[in-house]
Amino acid sequence: MAGKNRDSPPWTVPFLSLYFTLFTPRWNTMSASTPSVSLDVFRTLHRIHRQLTDLQEQLDRGPRHVSAGQSSIKHREEELAKLREKTKSMRVAADQKQLQLKGIEEKIKDFRRKLNAAASNREYQILKDQIAADEMAKSVLEDEIIEALEQVDQFQPKISGSEAALAATRDKAAKTQAEVQKQQPLLRADIERLTAELRRYESELPATVRETYQRRARQKGEDALAPVVDECCGGCNQQVPINVQAEIRLGHPTFCKTCGRLLYLPEA
């Protein structure tokens, strides 16, 4: 409308200034008064952190391997126990059938004795039919016994294989445990040596930076630092402005505005 004041409200400029102050990311670069640090210090710190991470993983991995070996032994032992128990059950079943067979054979002998002393044709025929029925049962039982014994024999190679597997697993577990026991003191010594070296290089950081860096190092380990790769933070890929790279090149400690890593320039 004609004559209407189109100027921005008086509160707009202060509001926008406050907005950009609060919400525009800033790079945490130490001031010029902060002593500069050799780039080799940052590189060495990151290298040591990486080495310590690797050594600690190796140290932690050893007991896990030993535990896995013991679990494998237990599994093999349970497997062998099941096979032996099944073989035992099959032998018991075969023995019971053999006892049944012996009982039938005794009955047949008894019926044959009675057959010779039969007082009538009817009694003779009844005894003869009973003998025939028991002979048939005896034949079936004999076949079942032969089959049961064959199954026991076929099961024996499985037991032998399981015993061999258990022996091999025990041998492997013993070698693993011996190797872990040998390596653990060496790894601890390397960790102790590198930790002392780390403390020595950390002492070269300005006091204004050291506390922040150490707090993040305790939380993140090797992820407390990152190189600038292709003008970006090597940890989170946040682009690093040219002027900030210049500050880093001058040895001014700078933390990534996104992930908080202490940045450094890698060797050319």
Highest mean pLDDT among 59-63, 208-212, 250-254: 59-63
Residue that wins the pLDDT comparison between 121 and 10: 121
Write the pLDDT tens digit of every residue in 126-175: 888 999 999 999 999 999 999 988 988 888 999 999 999 999 999 999 99
In a 10 Å sphere around its CB, with 0-12 CB exposed, 13-18 middle and 19+ buried, how is residue 151 labelled?
middle
Q: Quick one: pLDDT at residue 135?
A: 92
Q: Quick one: pLDDT at residue 222?
A: 94
The answer to whether the CB of 35 falls within 8 A of the CB of 206 is: yes
Instruction: Tell me the β-bridge partners of 229.
Output: 232
Residues 6+ apart with CB under 8 A from 148: 90, 93, 94, 97
The CB-side HSE value for 90 (13 A sphere, CA atoms) comes to: 19
Q: Is the pLDDT of residue 196 over 90?
A: yes
Q: Is the pLDDT of residue 80 over 80?
A: yes
- Give me the chain's average pLDDT, please: 87
Report which DSSP code applies to 240.
Answer: P
Write the pLDDT tens digit of every residue in 174-191: 999 999 999 999 999 999
The answer to whether the CB of 197 falls within 8 A of the CB of 118 is: no
Phi, psi of 225 (to 5 degrees): -130, 160
Instruction: List the domains of the chain with CATH numbers.
Output: 48-204 (1.10.287.1490), 206-268 (no CATH)
Alpha helices by DSSP H, the chain: 12-23, 39-116, 121-202, 207-220, 242-249
Q: Is the pLDDT of residue 259 over 90?
A: yes
